[in-house]
Structure 1
Amino acid sequence: MTIQFILLISRQGKTRLAKWFVPQPQKERQKTIREIAQLVLNRPPKLCNFLEWRDYKLVFKRYASLYFVACVDKDDNELITLEVIHHFVEILDRYFGNVCELDLIFNFHKAYYILDELLISGELQESSKKTVLRVVAAQDQMMEEGKDAAAAKKTTVF
């Protein structure tokens, strides 16, 4: 299974996270995001969470006010892709403590870091939630130590 890209789109159509695993020009990315947002947001909730789009499949799931959209090859398994999306949401939930859209707006760098720990080149890298959370916690600790060292250096007078 190879994910082409992952998008997090709000109900208002705003992109909250976009991760591309295949190179694409910026103009094409923007066009793609607009097109996909329109398709997903206008889809009735009773219909299935899979759409054929161009030569790919869109697999999406709505959690609260966000749509998590993954684009995969036509012959990839949709249910596995849904499972990867759900896995990502569960990790975000554990990290932020009931994640909401504002968490992703103000801590987008953390969401990208978690996604990078989870997926590499569109392939699932780590299936253990505990391992991903442990690595993210270690990164948070390093950031705090760096801030403390910078603050100590700033207050030291020569």
Structure 2
Amino acid sequence: MQASAFDEVAFFRAIADSGVRALLIGRRALIALGLPVMTRDYDFWIPADEAGRFNDALQPLGLLPTRTPDEARSHGRYIVEGDERVDVLVARAVSTIDGVMVAFDDVWSRRVLLPIAPGVEVAIPSIDDLILTKKFGARPRDADDIRWLQQLKTLSS
């Protein structure tokens, strides 16, 4: 049996064309910035009221949600899966492990658009905001990622 080829450009184009305010977070955002990390999935942060449109955008690609938009809003997270796995954070704001509230609208206003292919861009948080999103959890790899991001920030300034 042959594995199907996931079309990452079509994936990002579908999200961009949907008009959903979707921020690529997690290690895929670090990879998009050129950092040498690996991951198996995609992580997005979206506003709660945009879960339905996000799901609709990905359905033609064979990516199906594990929760309805209402369930996603009440749980704060869900997964969209098919050939790839997409973890979706659904929240207006999230607290870091040290108690800092991070609001989606604030992060969105400071987003960076990275070109993926001609006419296709992906929105990621600024480096400072990516560091904050890495503080949503307390995994050892998040601490490693924060160090990578701090080094990148130093090189960029």
> TM-score of the superposition, structure 1-length normalised?
0.34
More helix by percentage:
1
Q: TM-score, normalised by structure 2?
A: 0.34
